[in-house]
Amino acid sequence: MESSRDKIKRFYEHYNELEKGKFIKFNGFKGKEEVLKQMKASLYIRKMEKWFVNKNVLYLSLSAFFADAGYQAAVALFPVFLVLFLKAPVYYLGLIYALQYGIGALFAYAGGVLADEYGKKKVAVAGNSLIPILSFLGVASNLLLSPALFLFGWWARDSRSPARRALVALASDEKHRKRAFGVLHALDLGGGAVAITYLIILLSFRVAYSLIFLFTTAPLIISTFFLLKSSVNEKLDKIKIKLGNVKKARIDKNAFAGVIISTSLFGFSYYSLGYPILTIAQESTSILGVFSYLLFLLVSAFSGYYLGSRAKRYKIITSLSLFGYLLAGIGSLLMGLFYLYSLNIITAYVGVLMLGFAVGAIETFEPTIVSKTSYKEKSGKSFGQLSAFRSAGLFLGNLFMGVLYVFSPFYSYLYAFVVSAIAALIVYAFGRKLDLR
């Protein structure tokens, strides 16, 4: 009589023979210990999926965490260092920010194209490994060289961002993609919150600016390590891609165009957080100004993870319009009113909190929409376009902010409010069909 083991073996050896070219090679039975090991591994994977989607999303998000734990401290300290320490005029800061995002648009687009051509991981690692250039701006302590180092480090960051976003899209299936980008953004800005925390502590102990900038190199090196540790499969099933592209080309062109136009407009309205930091620092102290950036990053990290993990409950275009662009505009208006009427600093902090929540929504929903409406084999280029159009808007936005700020900070924040509201209307008009799917 045939034993149960023999029946099981025979089934697995022959059941696939009904399909031509398929077979299974049976390697024997394992003991109880191996079964328990596999069960534990499965439970671990389920827990991983619940919090981080999968191992590669976790590694990419940890890379983002440590990157922000490094360069965000430099970004927050830079306006204080340039204007209050090196005595540069505010319009010069606006010019630096305009170059930061304007030229950054070219680096972002080029990075996306190169990622599709030579490999997303290679481009992400190369760009990430050059970000520490900005950590040496304090050593230079010069009105020309310090901004130059800041800009080159930032442009390296821009060149790797589309490739890293494309890797996250490839590392997650469509069902979990919103949560994957939510996790990425949460750990991204969570690292920024860590950066601002140690920055406030170091400033409280009156540590030299040059040493603080140099300290940021350590987390940036760790960030590159986690990028190297990721192992996303960049080879895609061409048949599935072709079928998916036919579907996308038919129904999603308007949504993609709406997001690209709106993110550019939002760039016109969205400014470096250096301006609120500077406004609060001028009205109170440098530490309270830097503290506003900590609030921004914490709320942005929370909103990114919260909205990403509950994305099924929200209409993606409507949420981007209301929770993203419009809310950012209201936050900007509060900053302007804080300055115009010399309101309590709590008003400014509420405005910063609104900006933080809005950016979390934008950084979660925008890349999700792009991943839904673009061709997978050209995902690097699509994310490059997203970054480039945002940066192009930011180029002029920060230039306008710098000029208007000279006349009155209120005018600059009012401008940001108006353009953000227009962006909210445009993305809703172009993309509402995507909400109906």
Same-domain check for residues 11 and 128: no
Domain contains 46: no
pLDDT at position 258: 58
Same-domain check for residues 301 and 393: yes
Q: Taking the mean position of all CA atoms in its chain, how far away is CA 4?
A: 54
Domain contains 48: no
Same-domain check for residues 303 and 389: yes
Same-domain check for residues 154 and 282: yes
For 88: left if phi > 0, alpha if psi spans -120 to 50, otherwise beta; the answer is beta
Domain contains 177: yes
Tokens representing 31 are 């003991």
Domain contains 122: yes
Same-domain check for residues 26 and 114: no
Domain contains 39: no
pLDDT at position 41: 61
* Mean predicted confidence (pLDDT) in 293-316: 76
* Mean predicted confidence (pLDDT) in 267-279: 71
Domain that holds residue 4: 1-30
Whole-angstrom Cα distance, residue 435 to residue 437?
6
The DSSP code sequence of 248-316 is: HHHH-HHHHHHHHHHHHHHHHH---THHHHHHHHHHS-HHHHHHHHHHHHHHHHHHHHHHHHTGGGS-H
Percent over 70 (pLDDT), the chain? 75
Same-domain check for residues 203 and 70: yes
Who wins on pLDDT, 165 or 263?
165
The answer to whether 430 touches 261, Cβ cutoff 8 Å, is yes
Domain contains 38: no
CATH number at residue 317: 1.20.1250.20
Whole-angstrom Cα distance, residue 403 to residue 295?
26
For the cut 60, the answer to whether the pLDDT of residue 236 exceeds it is: no
Same-domain check for residues 25 and 162: no
Instruction: Give per-residue pLDDT as tens, 190-202.
Output: 898 899 899 999 9
Class of residue 199 by CB neighbours under 10 A (exposed 0-12, middle 13-18, buried 19+): buried
pLDDT at position 242: 45
User: Cα–Cα–Cα angle for 29, 30, 33, nearest 5°?
Assistant: 160
The answer to whether 404 touches 412, Cβ cutoff 8 Å, is yes
Same-domain check for residues 128 and 7: no
Same-domain check for residues 174 and 289: yes
pLDDT category of residue 147 using cuts at 50, 70 and 90: very high
pLDDT at position 247: 46
Who wins on pLDDT, 57 or 34?
57
Domain contains 40: no
Whole-angstrom Cα distance, residue 315 to residue 437?
10
* Mean predicted confidence (pLDDT) in 324-345: 93
Half-sphere exposure of 376 (CA within 13 A, CB side): 23
Q: Domain total for the chain?
A: 2
pLDDT at position 250: 44
Same-domain check for residues 8 and 153: no
Same-domain check for residues 14 and 60: no
DSSP 216: T
Whole-angstrom Cα distance, residue 251 to residue 430?
12
Predicted model pTM:
0.69
Domain contains 392: yes
pLDDT category of residue 239 using cuts at 50, 70 and 90: very low
For the cut 60, the answer to whether the pLDDT of residue 214 exceeds it is: yes
Same-domain check for residues 13 and 103: no
